[in-house]
Structure 1
Amino acid sequence: MTSEATLAEAERQAALLAALLLPRSPAALPPGWAALPGRGAAPAAGLQAYRGNAAAHAARALADAYPVFAQLVGDETVAALAWRLWCSQPPVRGDLGGWGEGLAGLVASLPELAEEAYLPDMARLEWCVHQSARAADAAPAPEGVLGLGLLASQAPKELRLQFTPGLALLASRFPVVSIWRAHQPATETDNTDRFAAARLALAEGRGEAALVCRSGCRVQVDELSASDAAFTGALLAGHSLGRALAGQPPEDFTAWLVRALQAGWLQAVQPHVPGDTPS
């Protein structure tokens, strides 16, 4: 292909992309489309088919990544948000599973959704869950490599805690954990009102901190107290165990450590190297 033909093809593809992402009617064409070499007049029906296909992919990808959010707002709202997000932040990779992170920011910017003020944080939590499910598996650690013995032999300021891949923390002024749990599939033997706790927490204006961690193929969302969340956040920021204990101590470090081990949050205890991460 000659350089002129290559340039013409690149211009044609750029024009097609611009047409697909125009937030106007499906028949709208970008300036200069018809003048592209070998293109002629673009059929509006063909462009609309392209757009319809893109919109369907966008809505499906967003619903897959944000299933609780979709339950909260409905399929039509998800589809509308998906198309707006697709137009403003189109995917840059072929894997649509990695697209959609900007939903929380989009929702927060829309006055028509302002009354449901918890929705942006619900989107943030679900993105953490989605990313945790997609995170790489932690490399199997040989026996004894976890390094718990260092807790007894080294000063806390000389240690750092390494968490498992995909672990994330979200502190919210809304009861995001209660809302997320209420919208999980019910078991056949569950006859309780799964939404009662979420309704009560919303009525009381209660905030919650969520810790997202994958165990095997299952992603777990745990609620942390304010002090445990602050401590965990300091560790996730790369601070040494000593600094985290001094600045944001948990309610009970032993209890926190046992919970971290049982829930699979912790991957290893390692020597802290000043200069590599915050001390």
Structure 2
Amino acid sequence: MNKESSLSLQAIQETVADLLLNRDQIIPNAMFAGDFAINAERLRIYRGNLHAVWINALRNAYPVICRLVGDAFFEQLSILYGHRFPSQSGDLNVFGQDFAKFLQDEASVSEFPYFSAVAALEWQQHLAYYSADFDALDLMNFLSTAGENAAQYAFEFHPAVALVQADFAAVQICLAHRGEQVQALDIPLNTTSYALVSRKDWRVELTQLSQAEYIALQALRAGSSLGMALERALELGSEIDFEFDIATALQHWFQRGIFIEFRCKD
């Protein structure tokens, strides 16, 4: 750094940031002493490190998108994203919060409109991992307390829980890519899908839901009693001609640790 520079610290920081983000930016002689070529090479290294941080942060949050597009193209998308959505926080875990919006608008992936839905679902799983921790409510504990009045109780959800409705088969795509071998999909990509994102013992789980089960959980999350939520799910089940198994659904919900408190509505 040129000791004779009279630039303020803020001006220096802003200029260096511009140099890192824009490789065509001219290096000001007033700021850097020494050989121009050496300074340019040092900035290239710093810029490469910045890109690596972007790529690694996004790859951590979006492993399925990375697998869908391949490592090389994912790196290009990550760099484009970093330029369009500069980090607003010192916490890299929130850097990718606009990636679904980015994919929705990015011309190079316009032929794959489901990418945005997959990314939105992956982001909910990412958030679930970093959510606050609470002890999950046990089904037997709830039933022993509520007894015959169980239908009158409402629940508080674990902060890691998310309910997701996607216009595409985002849930099936994510589930198909979670193992070493990608599983083939047997449904059209534009199929609406529903998911429960949960975390138990610090393990994030993605569960595909039926539409009726999704509606029941949405009602519970909005404060409805268990009885009202299940009644709505049963009504929907009869409308679209499938059975909603209450006992199985309750077991699955409690097994995934999605509730932390309960209270009687009446």
Q: TM-score, normalised by structure 2?
A: 0.79
1:195 aligns with 2:198: no
1:215 aligns with 2:208: no
For 2:105, give the aligned amino acid.
S
Deviation at 1:105, TM superposition (A): 0.3
Structure 2 regions of 5+ residues with no counterpart? 235-243
Which range moves more in the overlay, 244-253 or 110-119? 244-253
Specify the alignment match of 2:252 in structure 1.
259
For 2:69 and 2:129, how far apart are their aligned partners in 1?
A: 23
For 1:125 and 1:81, how far apart are their aligned partners in 2?
A: 18
For 2:121 and 2:107, how far apart are their aligned partners in 1?
A: 21
Any idea what the Cα deviations from partners look like across 1:191-212, whole Å, max 9, x if unmatched?
A: xx7522x2x2136x43221111
Work out the percentage of aligned pairs sharing the same amino acid: 26
* 1:1-279 alignment, distance < 5 Å: 8-22=8-22, 26-29=23-26, 33-35=28-30, 39=32, 43-139=39-135, 146=142, 149-150=145-146, 152-153=148-149, 156=152, 159-186=153-180, 194-196=182-184, 198=185, 200-202=186-188, 205-236=190-221, 238-241=222-225, 245=229, 248-249=232-233, 251-271=244-264
Any idea what the Cα deviations from partners look like across 1:130-155, whole Å, max 9, x if unmatched?
A: 11122222147799975863474477
Deviation at 1:96, TM superposition (A): 1.5
Which range moves more in the overlay, 118-127 or 141-150? 141-150
Deviation at 1:263, TM superposition (A): 2.3
Any idea what the Cα deviations from partners look like across 1:80-103, whole Å, max 9, x if unmatched?
A: 221122222222333322320111
Change (3 A) 1:15 1:232: same
Q: CA RMSD in A?
A: 3.3
Deviation at 1:78, TM superposition (A): 1.4
Secondary structure, in 3 states, of the residue corresponding to 1:239?
coil
Any idea what the Cα deviations from partners look like across 1:204-225, whole Å, max 9, x if unmatched?
A: x432211111121321111111
Any idea what the Cα deviations from partners look like across 1:54-110, whole Å, max 9, x if unmatched?
A: 001111111111111100011122112211222222223333223201111000002
For 2:196 and 2:139, how far apart are their aligned partners in 1?
A: 26
Deviation at 1:46, TM superposition (A): 2.5
Which range moves more in the overlay, 133-142 or 76-85? 133-142
For 1:29 and 1:64, how far apart are their aligned partners in 2?
A: 34
Does the CA-based 8 Å contact 1:146-1:268 persist in structure 2? no
Deviation at 1:239, TM superposition (A): 2.8
Change (3 A) 1:239 1:247: farther
For 2:29 and 2:213, how far apart are their aligned partners in 1?
A: 61
Any idea what the Cα deviations from partners look like across 1:138-184, whole Å, max 9, x if unmatched?
A: 1477999758634744773xx43112231111111222222112211
Does the CA-based 8 Å contact 1:209-1:224 persist in structure 2? yes
For 2:125, give the aligned amino acid.
V
